[in-house]
A and B are shown apart, each in its own frame.
Chain A
Amino acid sequence: MENVLFYLTAAGAIAGALGVVLGRNPIGNVIALLACFFCLATIYLLAGFQFLAAAQILVYAGAILVLFLFVIMILNLGTAGPLPRIDREMFRRRRSTLAIAAAAAFLGASALAVSRLQPRAALSSVPEHGLDAPMTLATSLFGRYALPFEAASLLLLAAAVAVVVLAKRGSRTRPGDPS
């Protein structure tokens, strides 16, 4: 039962990813990405990572995708009229063959790597609190990985300052602005 659910959600994640890449309407792309992230959260849950599944939903669906939607609506990029579902133009450009070849080469290389894996019995039962119990996660995050944790806080601060600077500078030098 769980295996069937895994393959279903895996197919859903791949379909969502294809929707992101092939769709023409930016809003539709965000919705496809949302579906993909929900499928991935389900897969994390099935794999025994409950905290990660919750973080995936909260951070990706709750914050990042809303940010994408905000920007699409601020810039008014959503299309009003009907468009062809799939943008065929992108496959006609000169460099497209190279791009698809690069992606296919990566896929082939990783398939080769996976086929060389030592076959192991699958993990049939996960511990009660999953493989990422908040207790062990916190002990590790605030103990062994305290330095990367602090570095992440610096990164977030730097990003917040950078975003404010970028947004303010652009608005001051806008052509035709009366102020």
Chain B
Amino acid sequence: MSVPDGHLLVLAAILFAIGVAGFLLRRNVIVVLMSIELMLNAANLTFVAGSRMHALSVPGATPDPTGPVFAIFVIVVAAVEAAVGLALVIALYRHKQSPSLDAASEMKG
């Protein structure tokens, strides 16, 4: 693939912006969690693009695996976030019988 690495970064930025918009716009807790997953994936894509740029700067050498290693850590964090977040969704649903964030507004100032 000979696509410029900048295009990977642009794709990551677009996905992150869509995730931000979904996080702020939607009121369904599950969709909000999915938007967070989308943002974490955009971060992963940025790691991939950065790793490619770095691999190009030293031709012939063994590629530095720091980018993919951190992408794997991001995947771990995403899995943990999904598990805890969905447990919180179930707890919220038990109390409010609604998946909407508007139902949980006691702490609102």
Binding site for B on A (CB under 8 A): 2-3, 6-7, 10, 13-14, 17-18, 20-21, 26, 29-30, 33, 36-37, 40, 43-44, 46-49, 51-52, 55-56, 59-60, 63-64, 67-68, 71-72, 74-75, 77, 90-91, 93, 95-96, 98-100, 102-104, 106-107, 110-111, 113-114, 117, 119-124, 126-127, 131-133, 136-137, 139-141, 145, 148, 152, 155-156, 159-160, 162-163, 166-167, 169-171, 174
In the complex, residue of chain A having the shortest beta-carbon distance to the beta carbon of B31: A29
Pick from A26, A98, A120, A141: contact of B69, CB below 8 A.
A141
B93 to chain A: closest residue by CB = A75
Contact of B2 (CB < 8 Å), options: A75, A96, A124, A167: A124
Inter-chain contact A110/B13, CB cutoff 8 Å: yes
Contact B13 A152 (CB under 8 A): no
Main secondary structure of the interface of A (DSSP, over half): helix
Given contacts A52-B68, A114-B6, A131-B52, contact A170 B90 (CB under 8 A): yes
Main secondary structure of the interface of B (DSSP, over half): helix
Q: Are the CB atoms of A122 and B17 closer together than 8 Å?
A: no
Check A106–B20 contact: CB distance below 8 A: yes
- B26 near A90 with CB under 8 A, answer yes
Interface residues of B (CB under 8 A from A): 1-11, 13-22, 24-28, 30-31, 33-35, 37-38, 41, 44-45, 48-49, 51-53, 55-56, 62-63, 65-69, 71-73, 75-80, 82-84, 86-91, 93-95, 99
What residues on A are CB-neighbors of B25 within 8 Å?
21, 90-91, 93, 96, 99-100
- List residues of chain B with CB within 8 A of the CB of A49: 48, 51, 68, 71
Residue of B20, B26, B87 near A167 (CB, 8 A) is B87
Let me know if A29 and B2 touch, CB within 8 A.
no
Q: Are A18 and B18 in touch, CB under 8 angstroms? A: yes
A47-B49, A131-B55 are known contacts; what are 13 more A-B pairs with Cβ within 8 Å?
Answer: A14-B14, A21-B19, A63-B79, A98-B24, A100-B25, A102-B21, A104-B17, A122-B1, A126-B55, A137-B72, A140-B69, A148-B73, A163-B83
